Structure 1
Amino acid sequence: MITEAGYEDIESLVDILNETYRGGRGWTTEKGLVSGDRATRAVINTEMSAGYKYYLYTFQDNYVGCFSLFKHDNTTEIGGLAVKPEQQGAGLGKLLLRQAEAISFSTMNTKRIIVNVLETRRELIRFYERCAYRLTDKKTPFPVCRGVGEPLVDNLHLVVLEKNV
């Protein structure tokens, strides 16, 4: 079941995001590319206060996945799409992506969805392309100022993938 997260769920979000992105297990890990926490209570609290919507996926009474949505103009950004490593490989990532898209299109009245991916994560880019996202020519430096870790490699960039209605 997917539910919108509240401030009381921030610790669960932090746990899922850090285990998934920085834990070293699973195919979504950024270990070796980025050090430090992927998420902190302070960053998520600030994002929620700024209008980011976070969602948690519950399976057998445990939180096993999450994502965030942030709308600007007619575009919604999906971020923090994460499935705990022990649950990966069962199609839950695709399920969460489809749910994020459904919420974006139905309740947020968006016309375009974007996701940002580390440009070195080719398998993750291919995942989004298989889900009908198109790699754009937009690229930005890794956002150290957002408090999501420190690059371990030089010139680490995010690329943008998009999907239109």
Structure 2
Amino acid sequence: MITRATLEDVSSLNKLINSAYRGESSKKGWTTEANLLEGLRTTEQELTETIANPKNTILKFTENNAIIGCVLLIEKAQQLYLGMLTVSPELQNSGIGKKLLQQAEIHALALGLPKIVMTVISVREELISWYKRNGYIDTGAREPFPASDVHIPITEQPLEFIVLKKKIQ
């Protein structure tokens, strides 16, 4: 079941997102960033602030009262930004991510927004290919990867984001 996350979900969302993106647990899934970055992907404080902002929606995918997937949707001018698409590492490749993408499209349409945009780390080729198979195109735009004490590159490769978009009908 996909529903809107609330402040009561922050702790579960934090555990899920960090387990899927970073650290040893993330290596069970194919979307890990553990080979590129160390540290946390998010914090409970960041998630609390995100949920409190009325322009933001976090959709959660719940099964047996456990949150096993989520996606962040941010309402921007003429587009919906999609970020932090997360599926529990053990359950990746089971269709949950695709269902969350479909629900994001429904959300965009409900807001009257004609496209969804996202950024993906450029070296994550298999993830970019998955998004392309789901209708997203590379816009050609690139954005710098943020340098901060939370995201520490552990590779010599320079990191940047590519911008993907999908027009919604």
Q: What TM-score do the two structures reach when normalised by structure 2?
A: 0.90
Aligned partners of 2:10, 2:65: CA distance in 1, in Å? 17
Aligned partners of 1:112, 1:70: CA distance in 2, in Å? 12
Aligned partners of 2:123, 2:137: CA distance in 1, in Å? 16
Tell me which stretches of 4 or more aligned residues in structure 1 moved more than 6 Å.
none
Aligned partners of 1:99, 1:143: CA distance in 2, in Å? 28
Task: Tell me the residue number matched to 1:9.
Answer: 9
* Cα 1:18/1:48, change in 2 over 3 Å: same
- The answer to whether 1:66 aligns with 2:58 is no
Contact 1:141 1:155 in 2 (8 A): no
The partner residue of 2:81 within 77, 82, 87 is 77
The partner residue of 1:152 within 137, 151, 154 is 154
Contact 2:5 2:58 in 1 (8 A): yes
How far the C-alpha of 1:148 sits from its partner, in A, is: 5.6
Task: Tell me the residue number matched to 2:19.
Answer: 19
Q: What TM-score do the two structures reach when normalised by structure 1?
A: 0.92
Task: Tell me the residue number matched to 1:92.
Answer: 96
CA displacement 1:123-159 (0-9 Å, x = unmatched)? 11011101111011111121245x7622223421111
How far the C-alpha of 1:60 sits from its partner, in A, is: 2.4
Unaligned runs of 5+ in 1: none
Task: Tell me the residue number matched to 1:103.
Answer: 107
Unaligned runs of 5+ in 2: none
- The answer to whether 1:35 aligns with 2:44 is no
Secondary structure (helix, strand or coil) at the match of 2:85 reads strand
